[in-house]
Structure 1
Amino acid sequence: MSEIKLAAEARTEFGKGAARRIRRADKIPAVLYGHGSDPVHVTLPGHETMMALKHSNALFSIDIEGRAQLAIAKDVQRDPVKGVIEHVDLLIVSKGEKVAVDVPVHVVGESAPGTIHLVDLQTLAIEAEATHLPEWIEVSIDGMEAGTSVTAGDVSLPQGSTLTADPELVVVSISLPQAEEPSEDATAEEGDEATAGTAAE
């Protein structure tokens, strides 16, 4: 996907109190780091950043006082209760550079009738060009029978991407639905009924 442009402001206030004030102003504290440079603390526009982060491995063009810097989000801290974004770590990248990222797995297709699929690996670790990071990786299970599985090494990666995860890791497995076993209470009730029937005889 194309670069997402965000206008950032240099941040001079630090600490929890400053972070709360920033968030109340509908902005998000962030830090830019990488390429051997000193970390740059900034604030990002709240709504635009939140919408941009809905895209996995989005490429940002961060404008700081008229100077654009390419970056990707390496860590997003959220409030565990409210889910709001509290802080973003941005890794500086450059065109042509390869970076390691985790890419979400999207299962497509339908396995054989009567079977179910289980996603054992939600993301795949790959290396790709910073300006061509895939948002997701499709894994097809079309027509697969029970007992089969797709490993990381079986997955077709986008051009220019290389797998860094263990190729033997199972990504998706196909199986038959498990028959529901009777609960202990139900088994006990059946035993009581059988005992009562015997006593009546």
Structure 2
Amino acid sequence: MAEVKLTAEIRNDFGKGAARRARRADLVPAVIYGHGDKPQHVAIHNHSLMMALKTPNVLIRLDVDGTDALVIPKAVQREAIRGFLVHVDFLAVRKGEKVTVEIPILTEGDLAPGANILEHLLNTLPVEAEATHIPESVTVSVAGLDAGDTVLAKDIKLPAGSTLAIEDDVVALQVVAAQAEAPAEESAEGEGDAASEA
């Protein structure tokens, strides 16, 4: 996976007032956790961080006042209506270290003919992977699947070096038959009959 380089500055003031001041300066408050170290409070330029977070589980090399820190996002807090970044928690990682992350499940192919619906019971798949080689996503073929068919976690082919971090038999996807609606004419006739009986 690609590595993104960003610059962060250390934060020494905390609380809601400090966070608001940071955002007015176009900075996003963030905290770096991991390896038993004391959490490090930093602030990162909003636009640069927003662009980096468009890639799921992006690997970021943060320059924190001249010191390198290799991190991945663990919790991203956004404003509910406008969606701008409010706060980010990062996990410090090292090359060769295994981490558990959730990667998006993508689908390809067409279901079997008929009024069937594909339901995503899982939108992301928990996997364990090497911190510097986290897959961006997994793709599942649903070609030809019919109502009643399911895709279990163990059925999803994982990229090399990744292993499942959930039970094998968890249902990730399932195909269900669309509920047929009564024709409009029949509904109208039924209402007419009910009116006559009344």
Q: TM-score, normalised by structure 2?
A: 0.92
Alpha-carbon shift at residue 146 of structure 1 (Å): 2.1
Where do 1:43-122 residues align within 5 Å?
A: 43-114=43-114, 115-122=116-123
By how many angstroms is 1:11 displaced? 0.6
Superimposed CA distance per residue, residues 39-65 of structure 1 (whole angstroms, 9 cap, x where no aligned partner): 110000100101111110000001012
Aligned to 1:179: 180
What residue is the counterpart of 2:24 in the other structure? 24
Confirm whether residue 144 of structure 1 aligns to residue 140 of structure 2: no
Which residue identity is paired with 1:16? K
- Higher-Rg structure is 1
Give the aligned length: 197
Instruction: Name the SS of the counterpart of 1:73 in structure 2.
Output: strand
| Structure 2 residue matching 1:68: 3-state secondary structure | strand
Q: Which residue of 2 aligns with 1:13?
A: 13
> Which residue does 2:3 correspond to in 1?
3
Q: Shift of residue 190 of structure 1?
A: 3.9
SS at match of 2:20: helix
TM-score (norm 1): 0.91
Instruction: Give the CA RMSD over aligned residues.
Output: 2.1
Unaligned runs of 5+ in 1: none
Within 1, Cα distance between the matches of 2:175 and 2:109?
12
Any idea what SS the aligned residue of 1:110 has?
A: coil
1:65-115 Cα deviation digits (max 9, x unpaired)? 221110000001111122111100000000000001111111111111223
Structure 2 stretches of 5 or more lacking a match? none
- Confirm whether residue 162 of structure 1 aligns to residue 163 of structure 2: yes
Give SS of 2:74's match.
strand
Find the residue that maps to 1:60 and give its secondary structure.
Answer: strand
Which residue does the alignment assign to 1:39? Answer: 39
Counterparts of 1:92 and 1:68 in 2: how far apart (Å)?
11
Taking the aligned partners of 1:17 and 1:70, their CA distance within structure 2 comes to 28
Aligned to 2:39, what secondary structure does the other structure show?
A: strand
